Amino acid sequence: MIFSLTPVILCGGSGTRLWPLSRENYPKQFLALNGDGISMLQNTAKRLDGLGPDIPLVAPIVVCNEEHRFLAAQQLQDAGIAGAKILLEPVGRNTAPALTLAALVAEPHSVLLAMPADHVIGDIDRLHKALQIAWTQAKTGAMVTFGIQVDRPETGYGYIQKGGMIEGHDAFAIQSFAEKPNLEIAQTYMKSGDYLWNSGLFMVRADQWLKAMEVLQPKMLESCKASMTKSIQDTDFIRLNAEVFARCPADSIDYAIMEHLPSRSELEIAATVVPLDAKWSDLGAWDALWDVLPQDAQSNVHSGQTLAIDTQNSLLFSETCLVATVGVDNIVVVQTADAILVADKSRTQDVKKIVATLKSEKRGLAASHRKVHRPWGWYDSIDNGERFQVKRIVVNPGAQLSLQMHHHRAEHWIVVRGTAEVTNGEKTFLLAENESTFIPLGHTHRLANPGKVPLEIIEVQSGSYLEEDDIVRFEDTYGRSEK
């Protein structure tokens, strides 16, 4: 039997500990964080390039939040990834249902490689060698995970206890899984040499995964099958049935399946772990980013406009202005267009508490940036007052906004680059650079870019209510409802 390897990119998650750069509507997996200008999703999708002719590779399956569907599709297209199946979860249910959905839509005789989209792997050659080892086991029916070599008593990771070495392979049977330990237990794990960090990477044949699910998690499997049966194929996307999937139990791959395998011999599915020493990081918080990026002579990491005087062991990130420090040590400073974070580097796990507070106070800074991405391009709210708002709007070539109207605001549009096709009431016309138009309150209107270069306009809104929910959509290329 000829097997093929299907990458399954798990693209959920909100990345709250990397606030303010990561937001609910634009989380860390869509950000370029490791200095190469390529997003974490794109890096994950390209990670298997050059794996070798011995492992037939097919197009990936991407499982992501429905709200992020256009981000995922655009970034895959920009990275040259063709033929991907994008499964849209109407609600997050953790990694076990996500891998089950992938197994249900994968090609026959697929070996699935589950990869979180928000991890960094610095040594691709070593990753590929570990994948080759795992491939030989997964083809024969084993369920394989990858354990990271322990180099410090880390309390933020789960652990895998190694059993006996598998003859002829640099791999081990799994004796047990361990929760995130306290410092004392983590030190014991490290000294013993019997433990590896749990990477969250898994390789398993699709039929073996579904076999295990049928025995160990039948309700989860039933919900996934039913939501797939009632799914809708929509351009690049497979939309799961929201009502059915909402009833699916939530659990991780580890808890739902892997930790049960060592004691369930009747399943005849071996649970194995391949050690991986490939400069791996899950970039769970700002201190992890400091670990993986290049540092100066004072062990500082710089991004953007920064100036560090008598500063050591710190991460300085600037998005729009100069960030300068004097006489500090072991801190994180992150500046974006609408927020600034200052934290002790040893406390960056607690940044999630900021996000929780913002959410409880219903403040939009937890969900969105000032710059908001849309399927047609993006806009940036560059100024606002009591009865006005100024936006910079960029529309991608060939894209268009919805045909819409507003109850409470009028708009002035000024073209600063490209050519705009404007629908204003009953008229449709073109605007060139330095030309403008006025959209009265209540007028049906649409902005489109018929050209081959990005269209950039300045929009000045005025009225009694200027929030984004004052939109009535009549037609929309992207299938969005009023929002």
- Give the model confidence (pLDDT) of 84-140 as tens digits: 999 999 999 999 999 999 999 998 899 999 999 999 999 999 999 999 999 999 999
Edge to edge, the sheet with strand 340-344 lists 301-303, 315-318, 331-335, 340-344
Confidence of residue 260 (pLDDT cuts 50, 70, 90): very high
Which of 2.60.120.10, 3.40.50.300, 3.40.190.10, 3.30.70.1170 would CATH assign to domain 371-475?
2.60.120.10
Instruction: Reply yes or no on whether the pLDDT at 361 is more than 80.
Output: yes
Take residue 23 and report the two structure tokens written for it. Answer: 């937001």
**The pTM is what?**
0.91
Q: Where are the beta strands (DSSP E) in 125-278?
A: 143-148, 159-165, 172-178, 195-205, 232-234, 237-239, 271-276
Res 483 pLDDT > 50: no
In this model, does residue 416 exceed pLDDT 70? yes
| Model confidence band, residue 481 (pLDDT cutoffs 50, 70, 90) | low
- Are 265 and 279 a contacting pair, CB within 8 Å? no
Per the CB < 8 A criterion, the answer to whether 235 and 132 are in contact is: no
Q: Give the Cα separation of 139 and 440 in Å (integer).
A: 64
Rounded Cα–Cα distance for residues 245 and 220 (Å): 9
Q: Which residue has the higher pLDDT, 15 or 89?
A: 89
Is 35 a residue whose pLDDT tops 70? no
Q: Alpha-carbon distance 375 to 476, whole Å?
A: 11
- Looking at residue 14, its pLDDT comes to 82
Decide if 422 contacts 445 (C-beta within 8 A): yes
Q: 67: how many CB neighbours lie within 10 A of its CB?
A: 15
The ranges of the chain annotated as CATH 2.60.120.10 are: 371-475
Q: Are 282 and 127 in contact (CB under 8 A)?
A: no
Residue 167 pLDDT > 90: no
- The domain made up of 4-281 is a member of CATH 3.90.550.10: yes
Q: How far is CA 394 from the centre of its chain?
A: 23
Contacts of 449 (CB under 8 A, 6+ apart): 377, 395, 396, 397, 398, 399, 400, 418, 419, 420, 421, 455
Residue 196: predicted pLDDT = 96
Report whether pLDDT(34) > 80: no
- Is residue 482 predicted with pLDDT exceeding 60? no
Contacts of 467 (CB under 8 A, 6+ apart): none
Going by pLDDT thresholds of 50, 70 and 90, the confidence category of residue 155 is confident
Question: What does the pLDDT read at residue 50?
Answer: 93
Output the furthest CA–CA distance in the chain (Å, rounded): 76
Domain with CATH 3.90.550.10 in the chain: 4-281
Tokens of 423: 């629908």
Write the DSSP assignment of 301-357 as a string of letters. Answer: EEESSEEEES-BS-EEEESSS-EEEES-BSEEEEE-SS-EEEEEGGGGGGHHHHHHH
Q: Which band of pLDDT confidence, cut at 50, 70 and 90, is reported for residue 48? A: very high
- The residue among 356, 96, 97 whose CA lies nearest residue 240 is 97
Please report the pLDDT score of residue 262 as a whole number: 86
For the segment 370-394, the average pLDDT, to the nearest whole number, is: 95
The per-residue DSSP string of 61-88 comes to EEEEEGGGHHHHHHHHHHTT--S-EEEE
Paired tokens of 19: 């606030």
